[in-house]
Structure 1
């Protein structure tokens, strides 16, 4: 379950804040409209470093960037602020770029050459306040039956940054 446009649907911002601090037990099933509270079965009252979030990654399909409501932006910013207060690094991945940009659909190596996608990244940067170098573009595997180096390069770049940011977070503790 992820964040949803409506105020009272999807995972609650408060539950995400609990997860950032490690207070959500492994395997807990989030329920829309029902927040986790101290004493609940899924609440971890004594989180270890292993239970805590080391990197916050926001994943949004490219076609949704221009449709994010003010309410959704507010939710994401609220979670980002909580992560910042905890020193947790933050990244964003904009997915399905090929579905949103014909030039990338034609040739995946155009991901970071596309002016259209650059505008999407700039808009997302303005909406959420994430640094531009923390927003990554990837094409999802959907119709492919074999591995593709061009698709893999963008995915691996984003994954590498997630791992590096997480290692930096742990090293700074």
Structure 2
């Protein structure tokens, strides 16, 4: 099942959870990340920062189906935080990416707010791929989180615009398209590719 057929059939679902936060007492618990990726947590579960879900919880799925499992992990972080990221925050992100890799699930990094690094990106979508400041932060993210550059996506945010902007939308749609392609590849498995 390629990206086109997945998108045509509408057979994809985007799930959002509490974020991975910098200190040990807030954010998604490390164990829950792994359980979530493997499909053991039902929608509606209220994550607890200090403890993972127990197998007795009504939201715990003992034998998840493929539909309940994750097929891509996307971590969203402002590009302005990459350079000065705390060790605790970096370690949590790296652990989440490693948990995905253990399950052979692709993990991507989405770097937001790139228009704060390079104001020229508002002029043309091409600037996203040629701006040296953005290239530098992508390389820094690669080194910091251990993710290949092809899995790192710079993205602009709607922050002060009142009207939709084609450049912002194009970059977001390209990012989503690549995430869906990685998802499709994971669903197909190596024997189908």
Q: What TM-score does the superposition give when structure 2 sets the normalisation length?
A: 0.84
The within-5 A match list for 1:75-154 is 75-105=92-122, 107-154=124-171
Aligned length: 173
After superposition, give the CA deviation of every residue in 1:12-51 in whole Å (9 maximum; x if it has no partner).
Answer: 1111111011011111121221321111122111211011
For residue 35 of structure 2, the aligned residue among 2, 10, 18 is 18
Unpaired segments of 5 or more residues in structure 2? 1-17
Q: What TM-score does the superposition give when structure 1 sets the normalisation length?
A: 0.93
CA contact (8 A) 1:60 1:94 kept: yes
Greater RCO structure (CA 8 Å; 6+ sep):
2
Q: Which residue of 1 aligns with 2:4?
A: none
Unpaired segments of 5 or more residues in structure 1? none
CA contact (8 A) 2:24 2:88 kept: yes
After superposition, give the CA deviation of every residue in 1:111-157 in whole Å (9 maximum; x if it has no partner).
Answer: 22211111111110001111111111110122223332211111111
Shift, 1:107, TM fit: 5.0
Q: Which residue of 1 aligns with 2:56?
A: 39
Residue 34 of structure 1 aligns to a residue whose secondary structure is coil
Q: For the aligned residues, what is the CA RMSD?
A: 1.6
